[in-house]
Structure 1
Amino acid sequence: MTGTPRPAKRAPIARVIPLLALAHLDRDFDYLVPVEWDEAAQPGVRVRVRFAGRLVDGFLAERRDATDHPGKLGFLDKVVSPEVVLTAEVADLVTAVAARYAGTRSDVLRLAVPPRHARVETQARASGASAAPTVSSDGWARYRHGREFVAALADGRAPRAVWQAVPGEDWPARLADLAAATVATGRGALLLVPDQRDLDRVEAACLGVLDPTAVSVLSAGLGPAERYRRWLAVARGTARVAVGTRSAVFAPVHDLALVVVWDDGDESLVEPRAPYPHARDVALLRAHRAGTAAVVGGVARTAEAQALVESGWAQDLLAARDTVRAAAPRITALADSEHALVRDPSARAARLPAVAFAAARTALAAGRPVLVQVPRRGYVPSLACGKCRTPARCRRCHGPLALPSAPGADGVGSPTCRWCGTADAAYSCPTCGSRALRATVIGAGRTAEELGRAFSGVTVRQSGGSAVLASVPAGPSLVVATVGAEPVAEGGYGAALLLDGWAMLGRADLRAAEQTVRRWMAAAAAVVPASEGGEVVVVAEADLPAVQALIRWDPVGHAATELAERVEVGFPPAVHLAAVDGAPDAVRTLLDAARLPPDTVTLGPVDLPPGERPPVGADSAEDPSAPVERVLLRVPRRSGSALARALAEARAVVGAKKATTSALRIQVDPLRIG
């Protein structure tokens, strides 16, 4: 701009949200709108303003006639683009999410609005009406009130449900049915899934019943320009259905009427950047504030989803027990012990009990693939002393030792630390002095090697790590997959072998049993029904509650038990919990400044091992050995908002006073507590 700018005559005050990292600056600031930017400066556009002598980016929140600022106002420096990218509904959600997670709006806005690509914005807008969607409720007929749920969506109502999919369900098609029923009323839908494989399946299902121009798929793998192009199709109202992974929860869908979250227990739905929101909780918060329909679905069920049902916020969407039994495979549980292994040399070499070995042979003989689920990738990811069973630890950092590959003459395959990467070919047990090592967990690579020897002539495929298979063809084969990397089999698997169940159930994690049941059921649901010969063998003690839930196929009962136990001991979702991580002095400074609710229970501090969680803060980032500690703050659910507000205000005070130079990480209701 040249010369002295003149303010606009109409609503000359622009209230701006600057993208500033400092917590004490997380508020709106007023600027004057120059007359030359009057037309472009509309609520929701990107702007650039001068703040403390430097130019910063921001979003124009609203135009006003007056300001409550007593001093002199500066002018907007520039309207970056006249494209409205922050709708009023999403702006309200951003504020709510920041308050819920003790974060700042600038952090949430970076998650909600993708970076701008000017060339994409200048491209012509799509025009023309979309073809009418194909609406059907036939696929929902085997669920109690399933047809009524779809009819309610088609009538413009806002039902809320926790949906329990039966084994073998074509769940992407069911989500597409819900989206089609919503779009038929002229409104929009938002479908969230954990990963790219699920995204591809839902996209294909939606394109089968909806006009391609009405569907926009959002994922980070598209690349910045293409993702922004598709995001703009949603923002401009061209696409009525947004399908995406966790960040798509903020997609600016016009006239949003339905929010769906599939497999809400998947850790991929947790944002790894501040303020670390869970896509499920953001989606439900959005549905609640916007008054939309909501569905949380999955083959298994989390305690959080069960809490929605027990609180009355959502209703169960279940199939009758006879329907579930008819769709489920036969499930057998066997203890993982030497007595459970047959004397058949092939079965012993494959580490499979006789029943599991027989189930695999039967499925292969029938021309179907067999899924073998293992809890860890790699070769031998966990070692212990071969004599006294003491866990093998690194002599440098005390991290766990693993065997990355088969031992060889060149030294490859030596015990190596999983934390610092140091090899220790001369390891000896500090307890008994023995140099013998044994595997406590067998990885996918070693399992595939053993199965290849036991089932000679059968194709063995691996899925996991950086090489995850999306699908496998029909026909006899062995598919060794780590948990969460199980590919879809054409026509279904003939059998599934779930190995080393104790390694999953024995993890020191609040959600170990819940996650194990979820992973087991996801694998078992890919197996054909028992009437077609489908069989699942889980190598774990049959009397364990998690194993019993799998055998009975009772995810609802297991989730109800999990929730009741968490209520009894005071863990989420029965309470709200905040984890504060950082250098000891920084954590103490924050807690001293925080006006915590009177019913807050403080747990800790405890030191965080360097291998479990990376150091936080400028000081500890430079020195990996610098101490990092964690304090847990627990409050009843009624005080959750007060706790988040107290932590946010304390961080703002500490930041304004520059009371500490170390960074802090605040996580509200973290997925992992320890």
Structure 2
Amino acid sequence: MLSVPHLDREFDYLVSAEQSDDAQPGVRVRVRFHGRLVDAFVLDRRSDTDHVGQLGWLDRVISAEPVLTPEVRRLVDAVAARYAGTRPDVLRLAIPPRHARAEKDDGVAPLLPVIDPVDPAGWARYARGEQFLEALREGRAARAVWQALPGEQWCDRIAEAAAAAVSGGYGVLAIVPDQRDIDAVWRAAIVRVDPAAIVALSAGLGPSARYRRWLSVLRGHARLVIGTRSAVFAPVNRLGLVIVWDDGDDTLAEPRAPYPHAREVAMLRSHQLRCAALIGGYARTAEAHALVRSGWAHDLVAPRPVVRSCAPRVVALDDSGYAEERDPAARTARLPSVALRAAKAALDRNAPVLVQVPRRGYLPSVACARCRTIARCRHCMGPLSVSERDASGAVCRWCGRIDPALRCRRCGSDAIRAVVIGARRTAEEMGRAFSGTPVITSAGDSVHSEIGPGPALVVATPGAEPRAPDGYGAALLLDSWAMLGRQDLRAAEDTLRRWMAAAALVHARADGGVVAVVAESAIPTVQALIKWDPVGHAEAELESRAEVGLPPSVHMAVVDGASDAVTALLDHAELPEDADLLGPVDLPPGVRRPPATPADERVIRMLVRVRREEGLALAASLRQATAIESARHDHDAVRVQIDPLHIG
């Protein structure tokens, strides 16, 4: 496969009589191109050609296994067109590298993969939930955006939906953010579906094991595939349902070209195959809500009385003062006394308490204690952090250099203060405030999937919250401004998603469950948490983005590169007539530079905005312009991203 954009097309080759039986559409072959051997796929067999010159011969057939199915090929073409990418780049994401030994294994497909009939009681709590299960059994193209209830065993509901589709003779693809989620869905699925019919695909598998499992899917042995973002391309036989859980998680966005998002690929696949789709989460993204608004999917939401009965009590606490006179431990623990009382009440009931902090480490961000200037590295201007209590200096989070004699570059003071308190420092403070109570830290490289029974203080970063056997008695959400105050389009949406994921682990209000968020109650995101209204928050988010012309109300392309390269690319692009060009601006801090760009050259960012219905035209024009620039070799490479998560 040739990764250069101007060679993203088909080439004709001759096939010898000895190779004819094996060289069928979809198999891997090796051909000679421009004097060197390259890997390729057979797309079609024809008896004629429109090439006017002399054709070369196929060098050899690497494997007779037809790994590129017609269905996956159509999906690859659609993803490349949607994201202005090349098909070879998408194929690298869709088809894993070959391992010859794995191809020799030939498993047997299970005859009766569903163990027991699906109990609809769990889905009956949602409006039209039972009808949705029935539609899955019958193979109808039911598409829904599912709002999971607080305290919901979401992996059980996913397993039930999958079992319903499998019982109808259909394949199911479930995409989740990480390995912990794969394990949770796996445990729930094997109770309802024969384990021999389930395959888990993730990056943590070795190349051989991953290819072996992928082949079992290709050969029709797996009815249910559970995986992370790249598994969305898995060649599931007779696919009847595509599931995406927690589509707002950043890990579902591919960091390699052409940067597709698993949710969008799943929706493309559902549209192409006319199969069912389910997007679920405790919170809701603006993109998922746009699918409901457009009529492509319908709401799968529980009635408000059911939501209120399942949700914990949520209180918002202003962090301007800590009422030390009422509780001397408040100052030590950085918590208002109301939150401390909620934590103590939960611990007295032998229930664990969850403390969510936005950053891992000790002091991940520090500033001058006198003038409040953020401490930055004198070499790369990255943020400085303190890794432990008695650290000999501050460490740059970007370049890793140590500053042993930290002084403010503005006023010269050597006194520092914490801007953000990390998980380890918070664990220290909570341990002092609740002496005698076990403190568990789940963050960074030390993430716990579950904790044991009994009272405990669990300090976790967002996404690393372990499950408690019987749920948490209380949750304390600290340093909310660190997440809400980010200069990011998705700051409010992502903050609510992380808050709700933590709050969903807490007991219901009737059982004494309390969630204390240290933030002003007037903030709309805080109000959405208090009322447990992710749909209303997504509606408001969608409306506000539409007012200022931001995705998903429009399509937007981000073009990064050297100034002359970006200008040349846009000059060659035949953009829609009403396209808006925004910029140029310097590449935002922390964003990776485009590949092969000289380190000393200034990199800029341009934005191209078009109406929703012109998204494919925008991608096609940028794709063609990239091919022209690639053929000319006049400028450095330019990075093109369509609707990225972070625009900057």
Normalising by the smaller structure, the TM-score range is over 0.9
- Matched residue of 1:489: which SS? coil
Asked if structure 1 preserves the Cα contact closer than 8 Å seen for 2:322 and 2:337, the reply is no
Asked if residue 114 in structure 1 is aligned to residue 96 in structure 2, the reply is: yes
Match of 2:472 among 489, 493, 497: 493
**Cα distance between partner residues in 1 of 2:122 and 2:343:** 31
Structure 1 residues 275 and 131, CA gap change in structure 2 (3 angstroms): closer
Superposed CA deviations along residues 592-622 of structure 1, whole A, max 9, x for unmatched, are 221211111111111125x5112223243xx
| CA shift in 2, pair 1:128/1:278, >3 Å | closer
Is the partner of 1:618 in helix, strand or coil?
coil
Q: CA RMSD for the aligned pairs?
A: 1.3
Structure 1 residues 639 and 451: CA distance shift in structure 2, 3 A: same
Counterpart selection for 1:556 from 535, 538, 562:
535
1:147 deviates by 0.2
Q: Is the 8 A contact 2:30 2:58 kept in 1?
A: yes
Among residues 632, 645, 648, which one is paired with 1:657 in the alignment? 632
- The residue matched to 2:363 in structure 1 has which SS? coil
- 1:568-647 equivalences in 2 (<5 Å): 568-609=547-588, 611-620=589-598, 623=599, 625-647=600-622
Q: Distance in 2 between matches of 1:136 and 1:589?
A: 60
1:348 is aligned to 331
Give the conservation status (yes or no) of the 8 Å contact 2:172–2:241: yes
CA deviation profile, 1:531-577 (whole Å, cap 9, x unmatched): 11111000000110000000000000000000000000000000111
* 1:114 Cα deviation from its structure 2 partner: 0.4
Preserved contact between residue 258 and residue 293 of structure 1 (Cα < 8 Å): yes
Displacement of 1:493 in angstroms is 0.7
**Which position in structure 1 is the counterpart of 2:456?**
477
Deviations 1:370-389 (A, max 9, x none): 11000011111111221222
Instruction: Provide the C-alpha distance between the structure 2 equivalents of 1:43 and 1:182, rounded to a whole number of angstroms.
Output: 30
- 8 Å CA contact 1:334–1:340 kept in 2: the answer is no
Following superposition, the deviation at residue 136 of structure 1 comes to: 2.6
Q: Which amino acid aligns with 1:643?
A: L
Cα distance between partner residues in 2 of 1:131 and 1:394: 58
The answer as to 2:346 corresponding to 1:363 is yes
Report the Cα distance in structure 1 between the residues aligned to 2:310 and 2:368, rounded to whole angstroms: 44
Aligned to 1:16: none
Secondary structure in 1 matching 2:515? strand
Q: Is the 8 A contact 1:381 1:442 kept in 2?
A: yes
Q: Is the 2:24–2:64 Cα contact (8 Å) retained in structure 1?
A: yes
Q: Name the CA shift for 1:196/1:476 in 2 (closer, same or farther; >3 Å).
A: same
Alignment of 1:232-631 (within 5 A): 232-339=215-322, 344-408=327-391, 411=392, 414-609=393-588, 611-620=589-598, 623=599, 625-631=600-606
- Change over 3 Å in CA distance of 1:71–1:405 after alignment to 2: same
In the alignment, structure 2 segments of 5+ residues that lack a partner are none
> In the alignment, which of 90, 101, 104 is matched to residue 83 of structure 2?
101
- Cα distance, 1:456–1:139 mapped onto 2, change above 3 Å: same
In 1: Cα distance, 2:93 partner to 2:483 partner? 32
Partner residue of 2:137 out of 154, 173, 190: 154
What secondary structure, in the 3-state scheme, does the structure 2 residue paired with 1:504 have? helix
Give the C-alpha shift of residue 400 in structure 1. 1.8
| Residues 1:469 and 1:436: Cα distance change in structure 2 (over 3 Å) | same
Q: Report the 3-state secondary structure (helix = DSSP H, G, I; strand = E; otherwise coil) of the residue aligned with 2:58.
A: coil
- When residues 51 and 327 of structure 1 are mapped into structure 2, their CA distance, relative to the original with a 3 A threshold, is same
Shift of 1:73: 1.5
Q: Deviations over 1:259-306 (max 9, x none)?
A: 010000000000011100000000001101110101100000000010
Cα deviation for residue 663 of structure 1 reads: 2.3
* Other structure's SS at 1:239 match: coil
Q: Match for residue 69 of structure 1?
A: 51
State the shift of 1:422 in Å: 2.7
Q: How many Å apart are 1:128 and its aligned residue?
A: 5.2
Superposed displacement of residue 340, structure 1: 5.2
Change (3 A) 1:382 1:343: farther
Structure 1 residue 328: Cα displacement? 0.6
C-alpha distance in structure 1 between counterparts of 2:540 and 2:237, whole Å: 39
Distance in 1 of aligned mates of 2:505 and 2:183: 17
Question: How far, CA to CA, are the matches of 1:294 and 1:53 in structure 2?
Answer: 46
Mind listing any 5+ residue stretches in structure 1 that lack a counterpart? 1-18
Counterpart of 1:5?
Answer: none
SS of the residue corresponding to residue 509 of structure 1 reads coil
The alpha-carbon deviation at position 129 of structure 1 amounts to 1.7
Conserved? CA contact 2:139–2:275, under 8 Å: no
Q: Matched residue of 1:66: which SS? A: coil
Give the whole-Å Cα distance in 1 for the aligned partners of 2:503 and 2:234. 33
User: Which residue among 82, 94, 106 is the counterpart of 1:124?
Assistant: 106
Provide the rounded CA distance (Å) in 1 between the counterparts of 2:238 and 2:165. 10
Whole-Å Cα distance in 2 between the matches of residues 133 and 237 of structure 1?
Answer: 19
Instruction: Determine the C-alpha separation between the residues in 2 that align with 1:151 and 1:301.
Output: 24
Residue 29 of structure 2 corresponds to which residue in structure 1? 47
**TM-score, normalization: structure 1?**
0.94
SS in structure 1 of the partner of residue 447 of structure 2: coil
- SS of equivalent residue, structure 1 residue 488: coil
Partner of 2:181: 198
Is residue 32 of structure 2 the alignment partner of residue 57 of structure 1? Answer: no
TM-score, scaled to structure 2: 0.98
Shift of 1:132: 3.5
Q: Which runs of structure 2 are paired with 1:25-36 in the superposition (5 Å)?
A: 25-36=7-18
1:667 — aligned with what? 641
Distance 1:426-1:127 versus aligned 2 partners, 3 A rule: closer
Deviations 1:31-83 (A, max 9, x none): 12211111111111111111111111111111122211122222211111111
